[in-house]
Structure 1
Amino acid sequence: MIRAVKHYVQDPKQKDWDDWAERLVFAMNTSVSVVRKETPFFLMHGWDPHTTITASLPTIRGDAEPEAYRWRLQVYQQQVYCRALNRDLVAAAIANRARRHNDQLPENDDERIKVGDAVWLYIDQVKPGVKVKLAHRWHGPFRVLSRPNDYSSELESRVRHTGKVYRFHAIVHDSRLKPRRIYLERPVEVLLNVPEIDFDEELALPDDSFLGGRPDRDDVLGSRPQVVAVRNVRYTEGTKEYEVQFHRGGPWIWEALVNIPPTELIYEFERVRLGFDRLAMMVQEELHPIEEEEVKDDG
């Protein structure tokens, strides 16, 4: 077949492509496959092709050739039967495994993951050099954007890398997700028949340990403005600084941690940043960092 292609390419005009195409197709159909150990022509028709050359040559058939041909047909039929049986067994195993998995799911749909829930994502891969038993496997939490089907969820992931935030969506199986527990900040149950206890009398506190009233919040915190948003963090000469905003719509400024009034926004920002850093360990190989331009020194 390669010789025929070379001979066809040698012609500068190549107008007899229809003659060579027929010969090339016949050569491909009569070539023995490395995988099946048979020619495509025999697998399609069940017998070998006869050309004018084989018709002109003397035959070498004997009594043993029909038996060999019959044996080849039997082997081919057994292979076809085994492949069909293999497909049926694999399909039955997949259906049985899916049925066992669905039986373990809760019958009530309300107990499953719903759109808008906060979930944790399980990633079994660990960055090289990190101990498996000490690595964090559950990352997040992530928000469920949609439910393509009953057994998977679409999540929105954000990864902070090289000063930028990358956002991508991923469809994950529910077996790798678990809902985030939401604890109430204050008790909602009303206690009835609670005995009245005077804690001051039980503790026997001195009289000078009481204040005239509850101190004002402004007296404790002073007149310093309160932080309304936190965006970034950096270290400058050993000092930890945050990029904060003291007024809605106001400018973003860098302020040292010691000068920032106590606020829950700092704790929430550090918690989210820690989750981003842990997830970045899993996906940093897939992201291409921005190459910094080299600054040449003229001196």
Structure 2
Amino acid sequence: MTSTIKRDPAGSADAKQWRREANRQREIALQLAKEYQLAEKARRAEEHNARLSSKEQRALPDSAEPTEEGEDLPTDSAESHKSLFQTGEQVWLFMERVKPGLKKKLAHRWHGPFRVKKKIEEFAYELELPDKSGYRFYPVVHVSRLKKVTDLGQRPTVPLVDELSENQRFDFD
């Protein structure tokens, strides 16, 4: 890189000019590398798509243009404003702190379930605190500390074995 910069007869170059030229060449090299990578990615994608079966090819999107990284894809407006939790849903609350004397590893850190009272912001929800619950925390909580209560539905109550006779029974004692 230094060989392209002209020097005066004394052999000293203006430092500012030298840095500008070095940075300009660096930017050109980065741009060329980026263009090469995009072209190479497109070539490999085409090669890969050519090897796919007809069923897999039908599942490909119609546009064959490669999208640059960081380019946002259009999203459905209804989907982008969808809330994570609805008012009245039950959620578990993650609590970082543990009572003194307990170890974090063995403590129960998901508390609840609590009901969602209302949505405050995109990532903040207010919880209903039951009266006389003993919980002392601010009811507005970030969404990263919440998870939905999943209903497991009806569990099977069928016994696996009808009856055990004494000689079928096996004790470990």
TM-score interval, smaller chain: 0.3 to 0.5
TM-score, normalization: structure 2? 0.39
More helix per residue: 1
TM-score, normalization: structure 1? 0.23
